[in-house]
Structure 1
C-alpha cells in the first residue's frame, strides 16, 4: 500500500487535536472568517436586537404589577427561546474560557497553549473584558429602569394628592381636626366678648367671682393697653383689625375728613356706617373670606358693609338689650347644627367666630362714675352674664372645645368741676372750622395760615397748667401715640391729663357751674393717654388654642395684637396688620406666684372741693382737713374704692386762662358759705346715688 499523501497525513494529525484546541486556534478558521473581534463579542446591530428583545421579554412576562415586572417566572416564546439558547451558549463558552485560564495558572496543558498565537491570547482577554462590561451595562440599565418606575409612582402620588386638595371642600379636609362634644363635631370655634369700659382694676373689687375664676383657669396679663385715643370706636376697630387708629382711619368717635368733606359721628348711622370710613380688614371679614362663618353681635363697625363682603350673622346695636338676651343669643349660635350634623342647613350654619359687644359698664361709668354704687351693681351683673355663658358652655360639654376670650377697650376716670378747662379761655371758637374728639379736642382753623399762631397762643395760655398738653400733629405729637399719619387727624390738639376735660360754654359754663354748685356730667370719662393706669383694659383667654397651665400670666401687651390671636385661634390667615404677637402665647409665670407684688389699684384724680382761687389761711386749712377727709373717706368707702384724700394732694392754683379774670370780691363769710353749700350738695348727691342704686332709680345717658 502506498504511503499516505501529505494532505492525508495532515488530516490524521489534525484528528488527534482536541476539539477545544481547534476551537481556540484554527488557522483555516482565522483565514476564512475572523473579523478582527473576539468571537464572544456581538456586533452593534446584535446589541440592539438583544436590547429590544430584553424589553419585549420584560413586557411579555409581567404579572402582578411591579413584582411580575422583575420576577423570575417568565414565559419564553418565539425568538425569546432562541435568545435563551444563545445566552446559554455564551455562558458555556465563558465557563470553558474560565477553565482554560485555570489550567494556564496551574501549568496544565502547557504544550497545548504553545499552539496558540499571540493574537489568540489577546482575543481571550478582550472577550473577558467585554463580558464584564456587558454585565455592568445590564445592571446600569436595570437600575435606570427601576428609578424611572419609582419616579412615575411618586409623580402619580403627588398628582393624586394635588387633585384631592383641589377637589375636596375645606370642611372635609378639616374633619380630622374637628372635636366632638359627644353629640356634634366642632371645628375651631372662638367666642370673643368685649366689656366696654371695664377697667382692669375692677377685677380687684370682689365683685367678679366669675372673671376671677376664669383668670385662674386660663391665661391673661395684669392688663391690656388700649390704643390712643382711648375711646370706644377707634379701639374696638383696632381690636378687630390689629391696626392703629391712624392706619384704619377711625381716629375718634367724632372727626372730620377733609378729603371727603364729611363728618363721622359714631351715634348717627347716616354718618358712620358707610364703608369708606372703615379701612383695614376686620376679623369677621377675614373669617368669611376664608369660608369660616362669623356672627357679630353689636360690635362697633360690624353694621358697615366693609369690602362688600357678606357676613353670616350681624346683630344691630341695641343699647337697651338685657344681658340675659346676650347670653341666650351666644348659646343659641353654638346650638346650631354643624356642617356634619343631621339637619345642617347651608343658609343657617353654625359660626366658628362669635364676637359680642357689651356696653353696660361703659354706660353706667359715664352716668355715675367708675366709683359709684351703680357701677358696682353693673360690674356684678356683667360678671353674672359671663357666668351664664360659661355655664352654658360647660353644660354642652364644650369647655375644652370652644375658646372664650374676654376683653375690654379702655378704662374710666372720675370727672369733677374742678378739673374742667373752658375752651373759650384758650381759643375763640369762631376761628375754628371743626372740633374733633372729646374729652380731648382736635382743632381745625378756618384759615390754615393761623395754625402756628393758634398753637403758640394756646401754649401760652396753658403754660401754668400742668394738666393739659398741646401738640401739632405734624411736629411734636408723641410717637408712642401713633396718631399723626392720617389726614383725618386734626392738625392741632389739646389733650387734657387723665380726669380733666375741655368743655365749651354751650356744654358747661365752668364759672356758673361753680357758683351754683352744679355737678358736671358725665361723671366718668376716658380718651386720655392710653398708657395711664386708669385707662387699662383686660384680656383673659381659655380654650384649646391656649394650652397653658391654669392661671398663667403673660406680660401686658397693646390691643393691636388681639386680631392675630383671634385669627390663630380659628386657624385663619391674618390680613396685614400692626400686631406681631401670635399663638401660642408665652407665659411669664403664674398669677398666684407668691413672689409677685400685690395687685396695684390706681388712684383716681384728686377732687378739689375748694375753688382754686379761694384764699385759705394754713391754720384754717388744718382745722378743715378732718371733716373734709372724713366725708371723702365715707363716700369712697361706700363706693368700694378709696379715693385720694385731699390732704395728700397739693391744691393747684387755677391758671389765668381758666379763671379768666380776678376772683370776685366776696366776703370771707360768703366764701365759707359757698364752700359748705358745695360740700353739702356733694354729700347729698352721694346719698341720692346710693339710694337710687338700691332702689332702682332712673339712670342718665352717657357717652362712649
Structure 2
C-alpha cells in the first residue's frame, strides 16, 4: 500500500475519474433529481466536494449497511405481519428504555418514498463501483478498502435479523414526529381510546365488586366458623370477650336519685349510660325481658303480654304457669343465648324469663331455673363461681374439670319489682330493697376487682320498666264500660284487651267503651283503641295475639272486674287496693322509664359518658357486639362503639328528678269517630254519681290507699309530704 495519498483536484466534467461527479450516467442524474425533491442534500454535498477514495468508500459503506438493513426489515414486515407487529411493539433490551408506538399512515408513506430513493441510490453506487473496479486496480489501498466494504456488507447480511431489525426500528423512530406520537398514543383514533378506557374502567369496577364480595364472604366465614377473637389476660387466665348482663326488674330510672345506690351511681360515673332507657309497650315483665334478648318489639317476637290468647294455637299464655308458658310454641324469636351458642359462645342464664322454654331446641350451657326466694348473696356467689371456671384458652387444666367459663352470663333480679308491687314504689320497704340490690352489685364489682377483671369483663346493668303507685280512687269498673256478655276473653293488666265472641261485635264494643267513658267523665284517664287505630309508636298491632280491642288507662289508673275487686264497695268500706304498685302503661311515661349502664373493654369511653336515650330494642345488638357475636336481624339499630353526646356532669341536661305520678303524654294516634248512638248499657254508680268526673290523680306522696288508721299514720304522711317538698324525693316511703 502506498504511503503517499494522491492529492484530490477539481477536474472538468470530461474527466475519466470514476468517482468524480461528472462520471455518473443518465440514471444517476435521474436519481439525483429524486433526491433533490426529497431535500436530501447530504449526498449532494459529498459528491460536489472533491474527496479522496478512502472518504468516499467509507461513506458508501456506512450508507450501504444502513440501507441494506432497512430493506431487509421492510421485506420481513411484508412477509410476516405478526412478526412485524412484534418488532414494532416488542421491547428492545438494547434500547435503554426506549419504547415503540404504532406508526401512522402518513408516516409510512413518507418513509416508503425515502427508502425507495435510498435503494435507487444504492443500486447507482453498486453500478459505479463495478465500473471503476478495473481502473482502480493499481490503487492497492482503494482495492483493499473496497474488499473490506464488501466483506462488511456480507457480514451485515449474515448477522442476526433481530439485531438489525431493532437498530432499524430505532432509526425509524428517530424520524417520527413526537407531536404525532403524543397525540395518538397507543390508540388509532379517539373512538378507540374511548372504547379502551370504558373497558378498562368496567374491569376495574368488576374487580372492586369481586374484592368487596370476597371480603364480606371471608368475614362471614370467620364468624360462622367461630374463629377465636382476641383474648385478654387478668394475669392468671385468658379471657375471651365476656359480658355479664344483669336485669333489675322494676327498677325505675329515678330510683337512682334517692341516695340509696352508691354503687350504681359510681358505676354510672365510671361507665357509659343514657339518662334513662325506654321500655317497650306494654311495659310489663315478660314482653320486655324477651325484647332485651332479641332486639324485637313484642309484636315481632310474639310475647305480647304477661297473659294473652293465641287464636291459631287456641290456647292461653299465662306467665305464672310455667308448665304452660315454658312450652316452646309460644316463643317465636331467637334469644341471645341461642344466637351465641350457635356461634360457639358458651352462655350461662340465671333465672331469665323464658330461658326454660327450650327455644329453638338450643339450651344455654348453664341454666338456672327461676327461684323467687333466692337470696341476693347467692346470686353473687353464682356469678363469681361461673367467672372462676377455666377459660377455653387456659393451659394446664386438670382433666377432672370439664366445664369451661361462659362468655355470657345473664342474671335476673326480681326483688325491686316484687317490693314495688307489694308495698308501692314510694314505700319504706322498696327503699330497703333498692339498697340491698345496690349492695349485691357492689359485691359483684368487688369480686371482679379482686380478680383483676375490672377492665377485662364487660358489665351491663339494665331494668325492664318502672313502677307507678295505685289508689282505690283511680280504679274503673270494666263492667261499667262494656257488655262483658259479648266478650270471650280478657287479656292484659292493668290495660285490658278484649277478645269478642264474634268478630262483628268489635265495633259495637268499641262504641260502648267510647260512649261510656265520655258519659262517665273518664275521657282524660282512658284511651280506647282497636288494633288498627293503635298508636304507631306502641308497635303493638301486627300480631294476631294482640287482642282486637284495647282499653288503656293513663299511668296510675287501673281497670278491674267486679269479681276481683268491687270499686264501690271498697270505697265505702275504706279498703285499699292491691297491688300497691303497677306498671304496663305507656312506655314513654316518665314513671315507666328503665335504666342502662355499661362498663368494660367493649365500652372504651370517657368515664361518666352520656349517650342519647334509646329504647330497649337496642340492648340485644349491644351485647352481641360486646361478645363479637353476629346478631340476628332485629328492630334495633345501635351498634358498638356507642357514640357519647357528652358527660352526665357537663350540665347540658338536667339530672333525673324524683317523679310524682304524672299524666302520660297525649296519644298521637288517630281514633275512630265515636258513634252518637245511645249507650247500650246504663252506667253503674260504682265510681260515683253518673256524669260526675272521678277525683283527680293522687300525688306519689299520698301513700295511704284508705284513711289513716291512727295519729302516727297521719304524722308519717305529713312528714313524707314535707320531705318531698323540701328535698325533691320521698324519704320515708
Residue deviations 1:575-632, cap 9 Å, x none? 01000001000111111113432432221259xxxxxxxxxxxxxxxxxxxxxxxxxx
CA distance in structure 2 between the aligned counterparts of 1:489 and 1:196, rounded to whole angstroms: 24
Whether 2:165 is the aligned partner of 1:130: answer yes
CA distance in structure 1 between the aligned counterparts of 2:575 and 2:148, rounded to whole angstroms: 140
Residue deviations 1:407-462, cap 9 Å, x none? 00000000000000001111232221110000000001112111101100110011
Match of 1:227 among 277, 280, 296: 280
Q: How does 1:101-180 map to 2 (within 5 A)?
A: 112=145, 120=153, 123=157, 128-130=163-165, 173-174=228-229, 177-180=230-233
Q: Which residues of structure 1 form unaligned runs of 5+?
A: 1-16, 26-35, 45-107, 136-158, 607-654, 664-675, 691-704
CA distance in structure 2 between the aligned counterparts of 1:261 and 1:682, rounded to whole angstroms: 51
- The TM-score normalised by the length of structure 2 is 0.64
Whether 2:687 is the aligned partner of 1:681: answer no
CA distance in structure 1 between the aligned counterparts of 2:142 and 2:432, rounded to whole angstroms: 121
Q: How does 1:2-151 map to 2 (within 5 A)?
A: 112=145, 120=153, 123=157, 128-130=163-165
Match of 1:442 among 497, 500, 517: 497
- Post-superposition shift, 1:130? 3.0
SS at match of 1:681: coil
Q: How does 1:488-527 map to 2 (within 5 A)?
A: 488-527=545-584
Q: Is the 8 A contact 1:473 1:483 kept in 2?
A: no
Q: Is the 8 A contact 1:470 1:492 kept in 2?
A: no
CA distance in structure 2 between the aligned counterparts of 1:438 and 1:506, rounded to whole angstroms: 15
- Post-superposition shift, 1:470? 3.7
CA distance in structure 1 between the aligned counterparts of 2:431 and 2:514, rounded to whole angstroms: 40
Residue 366 (structure 1) aligns with: 421
Residue 259 (structure 2) aligns with: 206
CA distance in structure 1 between the aligned counterparts of 2:142 and 2:367, rounded to whole angstroms: 106
Residue deviations 1:472-526, cap 9 Å, x none? 4333100000000000000000000000000001111000001110000000000
Match of 2:603 among 546, 550, 557: 546
Residue 324 (structure 1) aligns with: 377
Q: Is the 8 A contact 2:226 2:343 kept in 1?
A: no
Residue deviations 1:49-90, cap 9 Å, x none? xxxxxxxxxxxxxxxxxxxxxxxxxxxxxxxxxxxxxxxxxx
Q: How does 1:444-483 map to 2 (within 5 A)?
A: 444-463=499-518, 464-483=521-540
CA distance in structure 2 between the aligned counterparts of 1:290 and 1:444, rounded to whole angstroms: 41
Match of 1:377 among 409, 412, 432: 432
SS at match of 1:350: coil
Residue 297 (structure 2) aligns with: 244
Residue 236 (structure 2) aligns with: 183
CA distance in structure 2 between the aligned counterparts of 1:167 and 1:281, rounded to whole angstroms: 21
Number of matched pairs: 519
CA distance in structure 1 between the aligned counterparts of 2:711 and 2:462, rounded to whole angstroms: 35
SS at match of 2:293: helix
CA distance in structure 2 between the aligned counterparts of 1:554 and 1:385, rounded to whole angstroms: 26
Residue 276 (structure 1) aligns with: 329
Provide closer, same or farther for how the CA distance between residues 469 and 180 of structure 1 changes in structure 2, counting only shifts above 3 A: same
SS at match of 1:461: helix
Provide closer, same or farther for how the CA distance between residues 492 and 171 of structure 1 changes in structure 2, counting only shifts above 3 A: closer
CA distance in structure 2 between the aligned counterparts of 1:415 and 1:110, rounded to whole angstroms: 134
CA distance in structure 1 between the aligned counterparts of 2:500 and 2:240, rounded to whole angstroms: 54
- Post-superposition shift, 1:471? 3.6
- Post-superposition shift, 1:688? 11
Provide closer, same or farther for how the CA distance between residues 562 and 394 of structure 1 changes in structure 2, counting only shifts above 3 A: same
Residue deviations 1:156-176, cap 9 Å, x none? xxx9xx99x9999967743xx
- Post-superposition shift, 1:469? 3.4
Residue deviations 1:193-220, cap 9 Å, x none? 0000000000000000000000001000
Match of 1:584 among 641, 655, 671: 641
Q: Is the 8 A contact 2:271 2:598 kept in 1?
A: yes
CA distance in structure 2 between the aligned counterparts of 1:166 and 1:474, rounded to whole angstroms: 43
CA distance in structure 1 between the aligned counterparts of 2:143 and 2:637, rounded to whole angstroms: 90
- The TM-score normalised by the length of structure 1 is 0.67
CA distance in structure 2 between the aligned counterparts of 1:245 and 1:575, rounded to whole angstroms: 16
Provide closer, same or farther for how the CA distance between residues 594 and 421 of structure 1 changes in structure 2, counting only shifts above 3 A: same
Match of 1:304 among 357, 363, 375: 357
Q: Is the 8 A contact 2:568 2:687 kept in 1?
A: no
SS at match of 1:364: helix
Provide closer, same or farther for how the CA distance between residues 565 and 662 of structure 1 changes in structure 2, counting only shifts above 3 A: closer
Provide closer, same or farther for how the CA distance between residues 465 and 186 of structure 1 changes in structure 2, counting only shifts above 3 A: same
Q: Higher mean Cα deviation, 361-370 or 279-288?
A: 279-288
SS at match of 1:203: helix
SS at match of 2:707: helix
Q: Which residues of structure 2 form unaligned runs of 5+?
A: 1-53, 63-70, 80-140, 171-213, 664-681, 691-703, 719-733
SS at match of 1:540: strand
The root-mean-square deviation of aligned C-alpha atoms, in Å, is 4.3
Residue 660 (structure 2) aligns with: 603
- Post-superposition shift, 1:349? 1.5
Q: Is the 8 A contact 2:271 2:605 kept in 1?
A: yes
SS at match of 2:435: helix
Residue 643 (structure 1) aligns with: none
Q: Is the 8 A contact 2:529 2:551 kept in 1?
A: no
- Post-superposition shift, 1:115? 7.8
Match of 1:254 among 297, 304, 307: 307
Provide closer, same or farther for how the CA distance between residues 190 and 134 of structure 1 changes in structure 2, counting only shifts above 3 A: farther
Q: Is the 8 A contact 2:495 2:584 kept in 1?
A: yes
